[in-house]
Structure 1
């Protein structure tokens, strides 16, 4: 099995949910990049550092208003 040499970007949607996407492909509708680019491992490590609250943004806002 060959090593994955794909370059990825970190993407997030309007609910601030993160994922990775191949850098050479057009982003799917509703997703934007956060500026991070690298190997799969590098991108996943970045997500692990920045995505500390897995709740969707709408849920976090709703709970803050209580």
Structure 2
């Protein structure tokens, strides 16, 4: 199967970090299907659009607590 024929899905972990995974494979432990599927390029473009803060959620929450 050619690379451009593969279907990927966007996955996200509890720290709101994103990755892509082949759609036909079991999602790795600790990751959840985010809802987006498509070509590798489509999935990476979606991640680039939605993942605007690369810091893990726990760090963002801690920094917000310190600012309060």
TM-score by length of 1: 0.95
| In structure 1, distance between residues paired with 2:2 and 2:23 | 17
| In structure 2, distance between residues paired with 1:41 and 1:54 | 19
CA offset digits 1:37-65 (Å, max 9, x no partner)? 00000000000000000000000000000
Q: CA RMSD in A?
A: 1.1
**What residue ranges of structure 2 are gaps of 5+ in the alignment?**
none
SS at match of 1:32: strand
Structure with greater helix percent: 2
The equivalent of 2:33 in structure 1 is 33
The equivalent of 2:7 in structure 1 is 7
**What residue ranges of structure 1 are gaps of 5+ in the alignment?**
none
TM-score by length of 2: 0.92
Count of aligned pairs between the two proteins:
65
| In structure 2, distance between residues paired with 1:62 and 1:28 | 27
